[in-house]
Amino acid sequence: MAESKPTPLEPSKLGTKAYWDALYTTELTTHTADPSLEGTVWFDDSDAEAKILSYLSPQDGSHPNHPHPHSLSPATASVLDLGCGNGSLLFSLRDDGWSGHLLGVDYSPHSIALARQVALSRESESLKTVEFKVWDVLNGDIPSISPPEAAQGWDLVLDKGTFDAVSLSDEKDSQGRRINEGYGERVLQLLRTGGVFFVTSCNWTEAELREWFETSTAPNDQNTKLRMVGRIDYPSFSFGGVKGQTISTLCFEKVVVDA
């Protein structure tokens, strides 16, 4: 494994569970008073959810420039959303025809309470219900959330801002690392071989995300690793001769390492 890692972020209150519990408590109260107010949709100003859905659209020849010809079927693919918040991304997938096993997890019980309440307010919709569970991405028991129909792992794992929040925590793991350094290892454990992982970030550049998930995350005991296979384009800007985006979304596939 290469030792290259991006420069750590300065810790912030956004990396604490207390911050997210307080935020989702407020949003839960607001939704109770007015069900039309479902809470924050992260990266909504960049239209991230719509872009992710477009990327994941079935490969029927209608997207000739599709960056990654995945084989996921909306009818059967199992989907796990890490740090699901109010469940917005999973609801969008469901409304777009993804009717397999959809599970959102979050370590804040107030987030899960909000997501479940939003789901109930939408229960008249005809598509399959989304499931939500309180679960810690870094410390939760993986078998407890494994899709029953696919014991080898999830077909699709999503992260829209959760790695950002974890990267703002000053907590250390049992190896003395900042806890975000073990995030890629957990993603590998959650995915089936051939499954894909989407991560959207406003704190890390594309190059840094590749370092975290493709370079710094070592192959696991099954000799699999994460390999970048695609990216999503967002409006770019130039400053000082350098071109960039305000957010980044990369797609990684869990692949077997060549012998």
Q: Specify the range with the lowest mean pLDDT, choosing from 80-84, 125-129, 175-179, 250-254.
A: 125-129
- Above pLDDT 70, what percent of the chain? 86
Q: CATH code at 144?
A: 3.40.50.150
CA distance 43 to 92: 14
Output the pLDDT for position 66: 52
Mean pLDDT of the chain: 88
Q: Can you give the residue range of the structural domain that contains 228? A: 73-256
* Coarse DSSP helix, strand, coil percentages of the chain, rounded to the nearest 5 percent: 30, 25, 45
Q: Is the pLDDT of residue 2 over 50?
A: no
Please give the average per-residue pLDDT across 96-121, as a whole number: 95
Q: Is the pLDDT of residue 68 over 60?
A: no
Q: Specify the range with the lowest mean pLDDT, choosing from 153-167, 207-221, 242-256.
A: 242-256
What spatial distance separates the first Cα and last Cα of the chain, rounded to whole Å?
15
Residue 67, in any domain of the structure = no
Residue 157, in any domain of the structure = yes
Q: Is the pLDDT of residue 184 over 90?
A: yes
Q: Please tell me whether residue 72 adopts helix, strand or coil conformation.
A: coil
Residue 4, in any domain of the structure = no
Q: Is the pLDDT of residue 148 over 80?
A: no
Per the structure, the count of domains in the chain is 1
Q: CB count, 10 Å around CB of 108? A: 22
Residue 5, in any domain of the structure = no
Q: How confident is the model at residue 69 (pLDDT cuts 50, 70, 90)?
A: low
Residue 174, in any domain of the structure = yes
Residue 25, in any domain of the structure = no
Output the pLDDT for position 57: 83
Q: Is the pLDDT of residue 150 over 60?
A: no
Q: Is the pLDDT of residue 241 over 90?
A: no
CA distance 123 to 9: 40
Output the pLDDT for position 160: 96
Q: How confident is the model at residue 122 (pLDDT cuts 50, 70, 90)?
A: confident
Output the pLDDT for position 5: 86
Q: Is the pLDDT of residue 190 over 70?
A: yes
Residue 1, in any domain of the structure = no
Residue 49, in any domain of the structure = no
